[in-house]
Structure 1
Amino acid sequence: MSTPGKPTAKAAARALAQRERILVAAQKCFVVHGFHAASMANIADTAGMSAGLIYRYFKGKNDIILAIIERQLEEARADIAKLHATSDLVAGIAEVFGQWQANDPNVTSAALFLELTAEATRDEEIAVATQASDRVFRSLLGDWFVRAVADGGLGVSQDQVATRVLILQCLIEGLAMRAISQPDLSVDQVKSALNQFLPSLLTA
């Protein structure tokens, strides 16, 4: 029996699915048109729903962008959780690179990542959200670096963590650029390059 005024599990699941549908459509529109040129009408058409329905879930484009930033952080949390289980960073990064190249709708595309970064230089609200998300991501990576090997980490000393996290972030963000600038770069080439470089970064 549902509580009056409280959505049922089915209704909550439907609302979550609708939000996700809107976010996927918005990501496509933002990549094609850019944040400013993309309209709520564009997003509604891409999502196959009315603009009025979108406004039931989001107040406007900035709300959608903030939700995408949160979605991006959740993807990062999931990726780092996998590392705690496998510690195979080369395979993980190569997999994400392949998803960027394939424009996999289930992950934040490289083009959208660059669009978000650019928008953060123009919009203070987006900048604050982007920087907050980045701090969480750095903290999660740092926890993985410093955690004992027996617990799924790398056992890196605390005084080296900040530098190694910075290098790793620069590497991953650089590969996002490569996915766009060098579309003929294969996942195997990326793996080969990472296998030559990453061991020294990941050795305690």
Structure 2
Amino acid sequence: MTNPEKKHLDPERAQARRDQVLNAAAICFARSGFHGASMAEISKAAGMSPGHIYNYFDGKDSIIAAFVERDVERIAEKLLRMGQQEDVVQAMLDNVESGVTENLDPKIWSIPLEISAEAARNPKIAALLQDADRRSRQHLRENLVKARLQRGIQTSDAELDGRVEAIIALFEGVSLRSLKHPDLDKKSLIAACHLALKPLLFDE
């Protein structure tokens, strides 16, 4: 009898299978919500048997954990690229348009919003989100320190923390505005976010 764990000896294949499940779960969560989507529905959308899926995920909570981790990695990669630029302030300002555009895209924000709603009810998911947020805040904080030092600005820890929270709130709020006001003027929003971000980055 074939050992189902053998597939994990091929990391690329295992990751492809995991991605296949996550893509199917994203469709099911968007359509039915976290509680409405069953593992049977996800397995059907993924084209796998439920037993096959359990080789990669213990259940819906572990699928959510994978979504959270994938989002952290996406954000960390963007922040790392910005932090490696010669002028970090300009790099962060240049990212405003793509940041707003991403947060206006339901394909990007719908699952995080669904997970946030679940976190309000599920302490395990809340803990996952809080850990992910801590790591993302740290990456952003490191960039903000670099950006301000490049301008010769020394900043207290408390002030840095406040500015980091404000920057995150600015971009996370875009998704909710998109949900409530889908016809908002994207161009004017990008311009306004650009103006709002400048003093948070380098005003004393």
Shared fold by TM > 0.5? yes
Matches within 5 A, 1:106-185: 109-147=108-146, 157-159=155-157, 160-185=159-184
Change (3 A) 1:99 1:195: closer
Contact 2:40 2:50 in 1 (8 A): yes
- Matched position secondary structure for 1:34: helix
- CA distance in 2: counterparts of 1:51 and 1:133, whole angstroms: 28
Identity %: 33
Give structure 1 stretches of 5+ with no counterpart: none
Deviations 1:15-34 (A, max 9, x none): 11111121122122112211
Change (3 A) 1:163 1:183: same
- CA distance in 1: counterparts of 2:105 and 2:138, whole angstroms: 29
Matches within 5 A, 1:10-159: 11-86=10-85, 87=88, 88-104=91-107, 109-147=108-146, 157-159=155-157
Give structure 2 stretches of 5+ with no counterpart: 1-5
Contact 2:100 2:190 in 1 (8 A): no
Q: TM-score, normalised by structure 1?
A: 0.83
Deviation (angstroms), 1:154: 8.9
- CA distance in 1: counterparts of 2:61 and 2:16, whole angstroms: 20
Change (3 A) 1:156 1:20: farther
Change (3 A) 1:195 1:93: closer
- CA distance in 2: counterparts of 1:97 and 1:141, whole angstroms: 16
- CA distance in 1: counterparts of 2:187 and 2:22, whole angstroms: 31
- Matched position secondary structure for 1:56: coil
Deviations 1:32-84 (A, max 9, x none): 21111111122122222222221110111111111111111111111211221
More helix by proportion, 1 or 2? 2
- CA distance in 2: counterparts of 1:154 and 1:124, whole angstroms: 42
Change (3 A) 1:163 1:101: closer
Change (3 A) 1:70 1:142: same
Q: Alpha carbon RMSD of aligned pairs, Å?
A: 2.5
- In structure 2, give the amino acid aligned to 1:92: N
Moved over 3 A (4+): 5-8, 99-104, 148-151, 153-156
